[in-house]
Structure 1
Amino acid sequence: MAAEYYYVIATGEVEEGRQSGASGRMGPYPTREAAEHAMQIAKERNEKWEEEDREWNEED
């Protein structure tokens, strides 16, 4: 089984495997590097979804 990495929101640290509670972590990510960029990935996804929502609402 491949390693999974998690970003811990409270500390900004990356953990290998499930060490912290589910409500306080983001992931899993396939690599440590991806987990290190979890907040940026989330920000980019949120911006994309917000733009898609605006476009969807403009179609009405």
Structure 2
Amino acid sequence: MSDTEQYWFNLTTKKVERGFESPAVDRAGPFATEEEAARAPELLAERSRAWAADEAEEDRWGTPAAGDSADASDR
């Protein structure tokens, strides 16, 4: 599917567009369907929450989990 056959959500006008109707900085996408593009704000929020959760998990890498002893000799 070419870019001109895909749908985009215009972040400025809050409207769905087909193909490259507006500057890239104003568009989110591409999306396969018009319905999916219309849900762009919801989808972007879901993805943002998932990315934030992943980053928080990565930030905790190597630290003891809550309730774990910092000293393994206590076991």
One fold, TM greater than 0.5? yes
Equivalent positions of 1:15-30 (< 5 A) are: 15-30=17-32
Match 1:52 to one of 29, 51, 54: 54
Quote the RMSD (CA, aligned, Å).
1.2
In terms of fraction of residues, the more strand-rich structure is 1
Partner in structure 2 of residue 35 of structure 1? 37
- Relative to the length of structure 2, the TM-score reads 0.74
**Structure 1: gaps spanning 5 or more residues:** none
Structure 1 outlier segments of 4+, above 2 Å: none
- Relative to the length of structure 1, the TM-score reads 0.90
Larger C-alpha radius of gyration, 1 or 2?
A: 2
Identical residues among aligned pairs (%): 32
**Structure with more relative contact order (C-alpha pairs < 8 Å, separation 6 or more):** 1
